Chain A
Amino acid sequence: MNDTMIETKGLTKSFGRLKVFENINVKVKKGEVLVIIGPSGSGKSTFLRCLNHLEVPDSGTVVIEGEILDTRNKNHIRRVVEKMGMVFQNFNLFPHMTVLQNVMEAPITVKREKRDVVMERAKNLLDKVGLSDKLNEYPSKLSGGQKQRVAIARALCMEPDIMLFDEPTSALDPELVGEVLNVMKNLAKEGMTMIVVTHEMGFAKEVADKVIFMDGGRIVEEGTPEQIFLNPKESRTRTFLEKVI
């Protein structure tokens, strides 16, 4: 039984002449949490965005639950991308919709699900992220931490198999980081497969099953959090960790 949820083979991406990353091979099993760390510009966000086709890789393949992402077939891409929820650094909530509408929108528009079924699920999810008192607020009335929790609920309402987090706490005031990380920790505990690009080393240590250190468009080192944080093999990893911790 193959329990690989998502896998990349030789993934390569450049913007014009700038090589963002080259030949990245990653494998994440069901229920695993992969945390990608590394300095800015190391290609980790772009890598994450290639997984759900927000960026088109130049070469290499992305395999989701055994299915190769066919970059030329739009319908196929949409169907596969639906299995992945994404949380952005800048939340990207829909400002013209209330919190509840934000969470309900995609299942109704994309999956054509029944309104009352989605409503029930959306309310449960918003309760889970601690925002059941904000259902009818517009995003502009929320704090950054609240916005990001809505964004997580919005992604979860599509019932994804994999959650992608692109620096989810980088745009937050320090005192609001914890509430978002807590939601993510609970999600990991429930067995969600997650790929998280972050600078939160504490989160990586506590939650990650596997940590990847990326620099200069390459995977410099990968291993368990213990290996990476307590006993890094590569000097570049060590230098980076000394700077951030």
Chain B
Amino acid sequence: MDIGTLKSIIPVLLLGSAITIQLTLISITFGVIIGIIIAMVKISSSRIISSIGNFYTWIFRGTPLLLQLFVLYYGLPAIGIRLSSFQAAIIGLSLNSGAYMAEIIRSGILAIDKGQTEAARALGFTYFQTMKRIILPQATRIVIPPIGNEINAMIKDTSLVSAITMEELMRKASLLVSASGDPLGPYFVAACLYLFMTTFFTSLFSYAEKKLSIY
């Protein structure tokens, strides 16, 4: 691999990385929102409501992400729903990470002492005020490290959407390999870029963890 080929593949792979980051950030954001909702559903005292949440995590944690993506992209057109590869990727990754986030957030909420809820109730807080002002802010600190892990996993899992023709870092690398006939260079550079991204987010989260440890 000489400098000339490096110069030609790096811009392509950087573009792929940008898409990988975009997919990761959007999906993690939706994943957290879905996760909070499903976590609340799961801790509901109503059996029927909590079983809906359990069903959700059972489905999305119990089947391969690749299969979920295939259903969304190749399967749904059979019933008339046509998604672009980007839409299918975002929906698939968000729904999937939502299931994992739900477990993380649920354990974070359950880790908060029952006395906190009681104090809030005794002061007249509604359930949602208690969640918003008292429980979730405290749970945040607990869930920051596992959510950091989840983002790390997500950066790597986005490579699966290359299978539904989404041109992120992994697919860009594969295309370069077939085009150039060089099987090592593009994969090597892609690996470096993945490492750079995961290292960056890991440090960001350990920084956030420190920042939140003020009390």
Contacts and interface: CB of A to CB of B under 8 A. Distances in A.
Decide if A and B are genuine partners: yes
A17 to B, nearest CB: 21
Contact of B214 (A53, A78, A138): A138
B118 A106 contact: no
A143 to B, nearest CB: 16
A140 B115 contact: no
A95 B133 CA distance: 12
Q: Is the interface of B mostly helix, strand, loop or mixed?
A: helix
Nearest to B116: A92
Contacts of A79: 124
Nearest to A83: B124
Interface residues of A, number: 28
B: interface residue count bin: 10 to 19
A67 to B, nearest CB: 15
Nearest to A140: B215
B138 A92 contact: no
A95 B122 contact: no
A54 B116 contact: no
A31 B131 CA distance: 35
A81 B121 contact: yes
A93 B134 CA distance: 10
Contacts of B124: 78-79, 81-82, 106, 110-111, 158
A120 to B, nearest CB: 19
Nearest to B215: A138
Contacts of B214: 138
Interface in B108-139: 113, 115-116, 118-119, 121-126, 129, 133-134, 137-138
B115 A88 contact: yes
Contact of A95 (B118, B123, B138): B138
Nearest to B119: A92
Contacts of A94: 116, 119, 134, 138
Contacts of B113: 92
Contacts of A78: 124, 126
A54 B121 contact: yes
A111 to B, nearest CB: 8
Interface string A10-50: 00000000000000000000000000000000000000000
Contact of B122 (A86, A90, A96, A138): A86
A235 to B, nearest CB: 36
Interface in B191-215: 214-215
A183 B121 CA distance: 24
A95 B126 CA distance: 19
Given A90-B115, A92-B116, A92-B119, A106 B215 contact: no
Interface in A170-223: none
A109 interface: yes
A52 interface: yes
13 contacts: A53-B121, A82-B123, A88-B118, A88-B119, A93-B119, A95-B138, A96-B215, A106-B124, A110-B123, A110-B129, A111-B124, A154-B123, A155-B122
Given A78-B124, A79-B124, 5 more contacts: A84-B122, A88-B118, A88-B122, A92-B113, A106-B123
Interface of A: 52-54, 78-79, 81-82, 84-86, 88, 90, 92-96, 105-106, 109-111, 138-140, 154-155, 158
Cβ-closest 6 pairs across A and B: A92-B119, A92-B115, A106-B123, A86-B122, A82-B124, A138-B215
